[in-house]
A and B are shown apart, each in its own frame.
Chain A
Amino acid sequence: MDAENFAAQALSLYNSIVRAVYAYCGDETLAQDSAQEALARGWQRVDAGASIDSLQAWTMTVAFNWCRSELRRSESRLRDTAKSERLNNEGHAVELAVQSNRSTILSHETLEILLTLPERQRQVLALHYLVGMDIAAMAEVAGISQGAVKNALFNGRAAMRSRLLLEDHTGDTR
């Protein structure tokens, strides 16, 4: 399959992946990198005749894997950076460093709040709201049981609700 044909078929898939991974990691460059790597691999495997039950689930999983690997590597590096800079000793250094690594200054409060949630909740909420995946598909991509997906979805929504209400309230009183 040539590039134009594959790109035509994969355009909406690319957009889904890049949105979801960006909402998961908050880094534009990393999200684009992850989406392109995943689709390039998916294209290659399709051409080679490999069986991919669901190109969407497979490429989405590869994109999250890629993103997570890069985050883990950079998290370690940035932890050391933060340590050397002695931001403080109360465990905030990692978060500050990781946030400072984001290539975009986030200006959207809902996305900012989402990025403060635990990793699993971020992933599931991103897949639910940005890709529209059902529970089974999310479980496949996230590599967890459907029960764990429901838990993450429930807890993530509850956290978002309370945080958004808090933000709204704070905004009203300013």
Chain B
Amino acid sequence: MTDQHDDLDRRLAEDLIAATEHLTHTDTSCLATLLQSRRESLSTTGDSPDTDPVHETPFLHPNSRGRRSPRFWPSVAAALIVVSGVIGAVILANSRPSQRVSTNPGGSSNNTGPKDAPEPSTGFEVLGQGWHEIDLGPVPRGAVYSTTWYHGRLIVAASDFTARGDLGWTTALWSYDPGVGEWTELPAPDLNSIEITAAGDHLVAVGVEPTDEINYPPWMVLDHWATWTDGDSEWTARGEIPRSPQLVAAGVSPVGPDGANLLIWTGNELLDFTQGSVLSPATGATRPLVLPDNLVDFGDLLSSEPVFTGTKVVWPSPSGRQGLAWSLSGDEFWTIPAQPNGGTDASGWSHLTTRVFAVAGSAVVLDSYPGNEPRTSGVRVTRVDPDTGTETPLDPIENLPVPGCIAGAVTSEDRLLVVPCASNDRAGTPLVLRDGKWSETVQVPDAKTMTVASRSVTLTTAGNSVVLFSSLVPGDWLHTDRSTDEWKPRAAVWVPG
């Protein structure tokens, strides 16, 4: 047996060394030149222990610092070749007049004139218990979407790379009042590829500052922000979001499962964990999120997600390492103790597919790994106590139509709603975690289309209800024909009993 082990070890070591040999350097001068260049690049981004983090230039994605991916320029070349074919696309200027579109029963849409002051909303409860499809009426098709619940209305932001015809972005915002079943167009911020979130009385957008350069979608870094409140005629640009030197030093850029920024509204401040900043929507002020200098030592924490439990922001580490928690202002942090012996076995945790949710004061971690071998069908579920770090395994989610695939999940009050991906053969029944136990809900309307694994699905809390937003995302932005019905986004709302 020992000989077999030795043989295996020898083979693995020799094979792996041979397979990676071509990447190594033997020339010190060459490495020195590379590192010198890297260090100068770091210096221009303010990654220095002496840098004032408030005024430093934000760290950008490596490709935004002139180190374009080898896949970038061919993509841009292809984009330029095709641009002539896109010129005929519909022009949607940000300055076009606001309009209202009714989507009352019957589904016909009609413009009803300029925007008036918003009316009170009753929320989605008027629809009654269960799932209901919402007619998205005027929302543009084939865009990248972000949704939030703001002042009793569903806000949908649609960002499109091709609609303007000059490789620039268009951004459109629509508001849906469930009480009257009406869509109203809102002003859009002067930002590209935006993500929106409600922050008290303000609607906040983070996105990319428009430039003369071609901002091809894959390399977007959302490092500018703007605010808007009900009744404003336009958005207020708030400028750059500073980048935390601790995050830069740790080499990380935490992002949500959809690749967007991790934004948490604590009731007073908006914490941006992707940039490592605290944003004050009321004043437009920014300051660095207080982070430990030894962030690197927190290991797997950096691939987890921070969540807001209602009393604090916690960033659990489901791996036996200590986690972090913040005060509501983001100005103070403390550590969450690590569990002896690593708590639950963390060896199989996937940090590409881990999702964290705040449920009834605790952090609940959903973990699956699409590349696991042998393929597992379920999703592991663990509750992490935000004070003690204690990890408690909960019943896993099993028998999923697509192995390990969750279309979307969201916390609503003391419940966690999880919607499985549908396969071609069957749709999974949405599940609710409450008091540590799972139960099934009724099926999403047309679930085999709405939740199929080939669509992007996001869930948004809307008062007591949850909105499921489903869309196809263009992979090839310029070559994709998005005029067909499959490119129309779909949405449904779940009203709990």
Report the Cα distance A149→B320, complex, angstroms. 11
Question: Which residue of B17, B402, B472 contacts A90 across the interface (Cβ within 8 Å)?
Answer: B402
Q: What interface size band does chain A fall in?
A: 35 or more
A28 near B255 (CB under 8 angstroms)?
no
Taking a contact as CB atoms closer than 8 A, the residue among A39, A61, A93, A94 that contacts B35 in the complex is A39
A19→B255 contact, CB < 8 A: no
Shortest distance between the CB of A55 and any CB in chain B (Å): 12
Report chain A residues within 8 Å CB of B34: 36
Q: B25 touching A15 by the CB < 8 A rule?
A: yes
- In the complex, A125→B15 CA distance in Å? 12
Do B342 and A148 touch across chains, with their CB atoms under 8 A apart?
yes
Q: Is residue B77 within 8 Å, beta carbon to beta carbon, of the partner chain?
A: no
Find chain B residues with CB under 8 A from A95 CB: 370-371
Which chain A residues border B90 with CB–CB below 8 Å? none
From the candidates B16, B39, B296, name the one contacting A43 in the complex (CB within 8 A).
B39
Kindly state the interface size class of chain B when it binds its partner.
35 or more
Known contacts A36-B34, A93-B453, A119-B369; is A44 also within 8 Å of B302 by CB? no
A residues 63-122 near B (Cβ < 8 Å) are: 63, 65-66, 68-77, 80-86, 89-91, 93-95, 98, 103, 106, 108-111, 114, 116-121
Task: Point out the residues of chain A lying under 8 angstroms from B91, CB to CB.
Answer: none
Which residues of chain A are within 8 angstroms of B321 by Cβ–Cβ distance? Answer: 143-144
CB distance B475 to A83 under 8 Å?
Answer: yes
Closest B residue by C-beta to A153: B347
Which residues of the other chain, A, contact B422 by a CB distance below 8 angstroms?
89
Count A-B contacts at CB 8 Å: 272
A83 near B454: Cβ-Cβ < 8 Å = yes
- Chain B residues, CB < 8 A from A10: 31, 35
Which among A18, A73, A86, A144 is the interface contact of B23 at CB below 8 angstroms? A18
Q: Mark A139-154, 1 if CB is under 8 A from B, else 0.
A: 0011111011001100
Given A83-B454, A130-B16, the answer on whether A120 and B349 have CB atoms closer than 8 Å is yes
Query: Closest A-chain residue to B257, C-beta based?
Result: A76
Query: 1/0 per position for B422-437, CB-CB distance to A under 8 A?
Result: 1110000000000000
Query: Are the C-beta atoms of B249 and A41 separated by less than 8 Å?
Result: yes
Given A22-B23, A118-B369, A157 contacting B8 (CB threshold 8 A): yes
Most buried by A among B42, B296, B404: B296
Does the CB pair B296–A142 fall under 8 Å?
A: no
Q: Report yes or no: B258 in contact with A143, Cβ–Cβ below 8 A.
A: no
Docked CA distance A16–B460 (Å): 44
Residues in B with CB closer than 8 Å to A94 are 370-371
Contact of B402 among A39, A91, A157 (CB under 8 A): A91
- Shortest C-beta distance, A30 to chain B (Å), equals 9
Give the CA-CA distance A159 to B8 in the complex, in Å: 11
**14 A-B contacts (beta carbon < 8 Å):** A4-B28, A62-B251, A65-B296, A72-B259, A81-B475, A83-B475, A84-B475, A90-B423, A119-B350, A129-B16, A141-B299, A147-B341, A148-B345, A155-B347
A contacts, CB < 8 Å to B: 3-4, 6-8, 10-11, 14-15, 18-19, 22-23, 28-29, 31-34, 36-41, 43-45, 48, 50, 58, 61-63, 65-66, 68-77, 80-86, 89-91, 93-95, 98, 103, 106, 108-111, 114, 116-121, 125-126, 129-130, 141-145, 147-148, 151-152, 155, 157, 159-161, 164
